[in-house]
Structure 1
Amino acid sequence: MKKLTMILSSLVLAFGLSACASDYVMTTNTGQIIISHGKPVLDKETGMTSYVDQDGNEHQIKSDEISEMVEK
């Protein structure tokens, strides 16, 4: 019984943590739509915005090329 409770608790925790990351939709000046998994991060020194796409690949785009960013 203790083992079953432990397994169920672990599953609930795993699903709860995976739901915390929201997707963001970015629109570029050219009209391209980019969907990122999690909030994109702005690097003020380089002027680049880093994001992870839905396949888990990390990308960067110039921040001044982004016209809009909204949480999905």
Structure 2
Amino acid sequence: MKKGLFAVLCAFGLLTLAGCANEHIISTHDGRLIESENKPEIDEDTGLIEYQDKDGRYNQIPQSEVSEIKER
């Protein structure tokens, strides 16, 4: 009985942690909406905004093209 309850609590905890990975939407000045799997960050060396798309690829976009970044 205790093992079953422990397993359920562990599964619930893992699902809760998985929900912490928030997607972000990057809005550009030309009206595009780009979905990002992680929080976009600024590359200090290049000044570009780096993000990971739904397919797991890393991309960059110039800061001058971005109008807004929202958490989904």
Helix, strand or coil for the counterpart of 1:56? coil
Query: Greater strand percent: which structure?
Result: 1
Q: In structure 1, list runs of 5 or more residues that go unmatched.
A: none
Aligned length: 72
RMSD, matched Cα: 1.7
Question: How many percent of aligned residue pairs carry the same amino acid?
Answer: 35
The alignment's TM-score, normalised by the length of structure 1, stands at: 0.78
Q: In structure 2, list runs of 5 or more residues that go unmatched.
A: none
Go from structure 1 to structure 2 and tell me whether the alpha carbon gap of 1:10 and 1:57 turns closer, same or farther (over 3 Å shift).
farther
Residue by residue over 1:14-66, the C-alpha shift from the partner in whole angstroms, topping out at 9 and shown as x without a partner, is: 11111112221111122211011221111122111111222332222122221
